Amino acid sequence: MLNIQDLHVQINGKEIIKGLHFSVNKGEVHAIMGPNGTGKSTLANVIAGKEQYEVTGGSITYKGLNLLDLAPEDRAREGIFLGFQYPVEIPGVSMTNFMRTAINEQRKYKGLPPMAAGDFLRYMKEKQQLVELQDKLSNRSVNEGFSGGEKKRNEIFQMAMLEPELAILDETDSGLDIDALKIVANGVNKLRRPDNATVVITHYQRLLDFIVPDFVHVLYEGRIVKSGGKELALELEEKGYEWIKGI
Amino acid sequence: MASDETNNILDEVTTGEYKYGFFTEVETETIPPGLSEETIRIISEKKMEPEWLLEFRLKAYRKWLTMPEPKWAHLQIPPIDFQEIIYYAAPKPKKELTSLDEVDPELLDTFNRLGISLDEQKRLSGVAVDAVFDSVSVKTTFSETLAREGIIFCSFSEAVQNHPELVKQYLGTVVPYADNYFAALNSAVFSDGSFCYIPKGVKCPVELSTYFRINAANTGQFERTLIVADEGAYVSYMEGCTAPMRDENQLHAAIVEIVAMKDAEVKYSTVQNWYPGDKEGKGGIYNFVTKRGLCKGERSRISWTQVETGSAITWKYPSCILMGDHSVGEFYSVAVTNNHQQADTGTKMIHLGKNTRSTIISKGISAGKSNNSYRGLVRVAKNAVNARNFSQCDSLLLGSQCGAHTFPYIRTENNTSIIEHEATTSKISDDQLFYCNQRGIDTESAIGLIVNGYAREVLNHLPMEFAVEAQKLLAISLEGSVG
């Protein structure tokens, strides 16, 4: 589904990703771990198409498409979802209006008619329950005045609404207490299907107690330096990132 | 607001440009350009006006000659040659009109293209329209239905003929002819406009609306609207306007006067979409307008809601004089400027009566190389015990070459008054746009969404069918403003 070959990425002239190889198949859950500043968020943003990052080498293909040729909104419409580490506030734009626009843009891209108002509201209600967000969410502006936990749950809620084929969750666990973490993880698990894939970016092993990955990768200095099964996360937790530096 | 419509609207964003820029081929009767006492006499004669009205015009003209053009606004206004303007242009009527069948089909077609149906049978909702084309009113719908309630809704010229006593009683009582330079000009040469009188205790059952269209070249439009709501009356009034795309600038200097008696309420909504000029700032309408409401009686209420997206230059301050005790004045405004547009707009709230209240919500949106200023005055007179005002002025900037300015003036002579002023300035951030992009929303739509969200507080005050129009306009006016 996703295939990254020898990727090089710069931001403001500084190389952050230095020859990264990474691939994801349908039905898989991957965890990417690593210390701060090693390029985890950069990788997520490059896949989503954030402009400020400059790809200086390598390739990314997604469902056979050259991903780097697609505008960010088209990547989203093709089924790529990024759960943001710091979801931005958009005052005045209600969650209902926002999601409705997003869903209908996606439907338009696929040649489908817009979703009828009633159907949409029912659908939204159903997905809200998945992450235990209250009904009043619909009238609130996007992320405005949300607590840290609510913002993260709101990301998972949007993921549930958009039913992505490839979801990348960037440090979705940071700043969550254990109850919120369970809710978020539970949401992700329920959305897991044989025809979609999830990449979980995290700093701590803790999240992986709840979202069990098929593969764990360690990102260090812009490259994946070690890959393995879920036991790698435990080993990493035990030995610390210092261990990686020796590899 | 229904998000159904929002979505449709945003779809339309891609169609772009100024949609109302076409010109209608109709036989037009114009008088030669130039302004003199003779011009005024010709206009007055063409309209078969009584002597007192001609006198009013001439007094205004003589005053105007002595007045300097206002220079205090944060605007760069190129010199206007008043002798080059045509002060009267009217589509030639084939004969006296008695029914819609007799209105020139070209004109009906023009208004249909603008989305204004003058056919009463075909109108979906209860909105009565007075359609003004260049200097004259083409057709007023629903007049007969309204007459049964005792409501007078007709063109200004008809009112002068049929209700001269009412016109004489109220004309110039809220905006005196000597009020300001452009008001004096309008008082001298005004051509047509709408007149509306709601009798005691009558709640007007439909929205009243005037649609202004400038068509002829080199003409100025100087319409005049007078609305009187008698004791306990209620009316909601809407005004829309468009003009063809032309390379030269055209002048629009209008006056709106509102009188609200005891317990009366008037809501006045404007969606201003005069041609703004092209991307390089060539052409466009100079929109120099004086709008003022007088809350004359106790507990009267006047509310201005405006969405200003068009015009090359806007100079406009819809105001309220809160004379009656417990009267209420409101001003809700969204002003958008893009490319080289300039707007200096705001309001004046003059508190004279006791326990008077006013609210000002102003949302400025600047893009391109435009300049957008809010200018407001809150004045509390000596006897205005317990006056209250709340003002909120927000500015939203798109891009780095535009300007937003706020000039709030507060003058109070009564220490029991409470005046609050809040102001914010913000930008649409790249992070917000990327967040929307990542959810499948392209940048143009994202801007439409964010801008409409920002303006929602004001748009919510518009009558439903206007709100939809306004949302579309906001999105369209800002097209191409980023990237």
pLDDT digit string (tens) for B41-74? Answer: 998 988 899 999 999 999 999 999 999 988 888 8
Q: Is residue B483 part of a domain?
A: no
Q: Does A84 touch chain B if contact means CB atoms closer than 8 Å?
A: yes
pLDDT per residue as tens digits for the range A56-69:
999 999 999 999 99
Q: Which one of A80, A82, A88 makes the best mutation probe of the B interface by having the most chain B beta carbons within 10 Å?
A: A88
- The answer to whether the Cβ–Cβ distance between A101 and B435 falls below 8 Å is no
Per residue of chain A (247 residues), give pLDDT as tens.
999 999 999 999 999 999 999 999 999 999 999 888 889 999 999 999 998 899 999 999 999 999 999 999 999 999 999 999 999 999 889 999 999 999 999 999 999 999 998 899 899 999 988 888 876 777 889 999 998 888 999 999 999 999 999 999 999 888 788 888 888 898 889 999 999 999 999 988 888 889 999 999 999 999 999 999 989 988 888 888 888 776 6
pTM listed for this prediction: 0.80
pLDDT tens readout for residues A70-104: 999 999 999 999 999 999 999 889 999 999 999 99
The structural domain count of chain B equals: 1
How far does Cα B219 stand from its chain's mean position? 19
Set of chain A residues whose Cβ sits within 8 Å of the Cβ of B435: 84, 87-88, 90, 142
Q: What is the dihedral of CA A10, A14, A20, A25, to 10 degrees?
A: -40
Interchain CB distance below 8 Å, B441 and A91: no
Measured CA to CA in angstroms, residue A19 lies from A14, A70, A127 at distances of: 14, 21, 39
Inter-residue contact B200 to B297 (CB < 8 Å)? no
A162 with B439: Cβ contact below 8 A: yes
* Predicted pLDDT at B116: 60
Minimal CA separation from A159 to chain B, in Å: 9
- Whether residue B352 is contained in a domain is answered as yes
Residue ranges covered by each domain of chain A: 28-39+79-245
Per-residue pLDDT of chain B in tens (483 residues, 90 and over written 9)? 334 443 343 333 323 456 666 666 666 777 888 889 999 999 898 889 999 999 999 999 999 999 998 888 888 888 888 888 888 877 665 444 455 555 666 666 666 666 665 655 444 445 566 676 665 565 666 777 788 889 998 889 889 999 999 999 999 999 999 999 999 999 999 988 889 999 999 998 888 888 776 666 667 788 899 999 999 999 998 887 666 666 667 788 999 999 999 999 999 998 888 777 878 778 888 889 999 999 999 999 999 998 888 888 889 999 999 999 999 999 999 988 888 888 899 999 999 999 999 999 999 988 888 889 999 999 999 999 999 999 999 999 887 888 899 999 999 999 999 999 999 988 888 899 999 999 999 988 898 899 888 888 888 888 776 777 777 777 766 766 654
Residue of A nearest to B11 (CA): A105
ipTM topping 0.90: yes
- The residue of chain B with its CA nearest to that of A161 is B439
Report helix, strand or coil for A177. coil
Interface test with A, best of B439, B456, B474, B482 (most A CBs within 10 A): B439
Q: What is the pLDDT of residue B14?
A: 28
Chain A segment 24-43 residues within 8 A of B by beta carbon are none
To the nearest whole Å, the CA of A163 is away from the closest chain B CA by 11
Give me the half-sphere count of Cα atoms (radius 13 Å) on the Cβ side of residue A18.
11
- Domain presence at residue B42: yes
Cα B457 to chain centroid distance, Å, stands at 19
Q: What count of other Cβ atoms lies within 10 Å of the Cβ of residue B80?
A: 16
Q: How many C-beta atoms surround the C-beta of residue A245 within 10 A?
A: 11
Nearest CB neighbour to A88, from listed B431, B443, B452: B431
CA distance A66 to A42: 19
Helices A117-130, A178-190: axis angle to 10 degrees equals: 130
Residues near B235 by beta carbon (within 8 Å), at least 6 away in sequence: B196, B198, B203, B204, B208, B227, B229, B265, B266, B267
Neighbours of A190 (CB within 10 A): 12
8 Å CB contact of B449 and A96: no
The DSSP 8-state label assigned to residue A206 in this structure reads G
Per-residue confidence (pLDDT) for residue B401, from 0 to 100: 83
Question: What pLDDT shows up at residue B100?
Answer: 53
B442 touches chain A (CB under 8 A): yes
SS3 A151: helix
Contact A138, A52 (CB under 8 A): no
As a whole number of angstroms, the distance between CA A35 and CA B257 comes to 69
Q: Does B359 touch chain A (CB under 8 A)?
A: no
| DSSP 8-state assignment for residue A179 | H
Cα–Cα distance list, A119 to A94, A122, B4 (Å): 18, 5, 12
Residue B393 CA to residue A19 CA, distance in Å, equals: 51
B440: nearest CB among A87, A96, A102: A102
Q: Residues 6 or more apart from B231 whose CB is under 8 A from it?
A: B200, B201, B261, B262, B263, B264, B297
Contacts of B467 in chain A (CB under 8 A): none
Residues in chain B closer than 8 A to A76 (CB atoms): 437-440
Instruction: Locate B92 and state its tokens.
Output: 């030639």
Measured distance CA(A192)–CA(A163) in Å, rounded: 10
Predicted confidence at residue B275, as pLDDT, reads: 78
Whether B3 sits inside 8 A of A141 (CB atoms) is no
- Select the residue of B11, B440, B450 nearest A93 (Cβ to Cβ): B450
Q: How much is the pLDDT for B25?
A: 64
Q: Of A76, A108, A114, which has the smallest distance from its Cβ to B437's Cβ? A: A76
Q: How far apart are CA A27 and CA A214, in angstroms?
A: 9
> What pLDDT was estimated at residue B412?
94
Residue B175, pLDDT score: 94
Beta-carbon-side half-sphere exposure of residue B146 (alpha carbons within 13 Å):
27
Q: What is the pLDDT of residue A7?
A: 97
Torsion on CA atoms B430, B431, B436, B442, rounded to nearest 10: 20
Q: Does B471 touch chain A (CB under 8 A)?
A: no
CA distance B389 to chain A (A): 24
pLDDT value at residue B6: 36
Tokens describing residue A244? 């990686």
Is the distance from CB of B254 to CB of B279 less than 8 angstroms? no
At CA A107, angle to CA A104 and CA A113, rounded to 5?
Answer: 85
Tell whether A92 lies on the interface with B, counting CB pairs under 8 A: yes
Which numeric CATH code is attached to A28-39+79-245? Answer: 3.40.50.300
Q: What is the pLDDT of residue B102?
A: 57
What confidence score (pLDDT) does residue B18 get?
Answer: 64
**Contact with chain B for residue A135, Cβ under 8 A:** no
Residue B250 bridge partners (DSSP): B285
Residue A100 contacts B, CB cutoff 8 Å: yes
Write a three-state SS string for chain B: CCHHHHHHHHHHHHHCCCCCCCCCCCCEEECCCCCCHHHHHHHHHHCCCCHHHHHHHHHHHHHHHHCCCCCCCCCCCCCCCCCCCECCEEECCCCCCCCHHHCCHHHHHHHHHCCCCCCHHHCCCCEEEEEEECCEEEEECCHHHHHHCCCEEEEHHHHHHHCHHHHHHHCCCCCCCCCCHHHHHHHHHCCCCEEEEECCCCECCCEEEEEEECCCCCECECCEEEEEECCCCEEEEEEEEECCCCCCEEEECCEEEEEECCCCEEEEEEEECCCCCCCCCCCEEEEEEEEEEEECCCCCEEEEEEEECCCCEEEECCEEEECCCCCEEEEEEEEEECCCCEEEEEEEEEECCCCCEEEEEEEEEECCCCEEEEEEEEEECCCCCCCEEEEEEEEEECCCCCEEEEEEEEEECCCCCEEEEEEEEEECCHHHHHHHHHCCCCHHHHHHHHHHHHHHHHHCCCCHHHHHHHHHHHHHHCCCCCC
- Degrees to nearest 5, angle at CA B387 with B384 and B389: 140
Backbone angles phi, psi at A185, to 5 degrees: -65, -40
Partner B contacted by A157 (CB < 8 A)? no
Q: Do residue B449 and residue A93 have CB atoms under 8 angstroms apart?
A: yes
Select the residue of A82, A97, A100 nearest B438 (Cβ to Cβ). Answer: A82
Q: What is the pLDDT of residue A101?
A: 94
| pLDDT for A92 | 86
Q: How far apart are CA B364 and CA B404, in angstroms?
A: 7
Q: Is B218 touching A (CB cutoff 8 A)?
A: no
Spatial distance between the Cα atoms of A212 and B173, rounded to a whole number of angstroms: 78
B439 in reach of chain A (CB within 8 A): yes
Number of CB atoms found within 10 A of residue B109's CB:
12
**A162/B contact by beta carbon, under 8 A:** yes
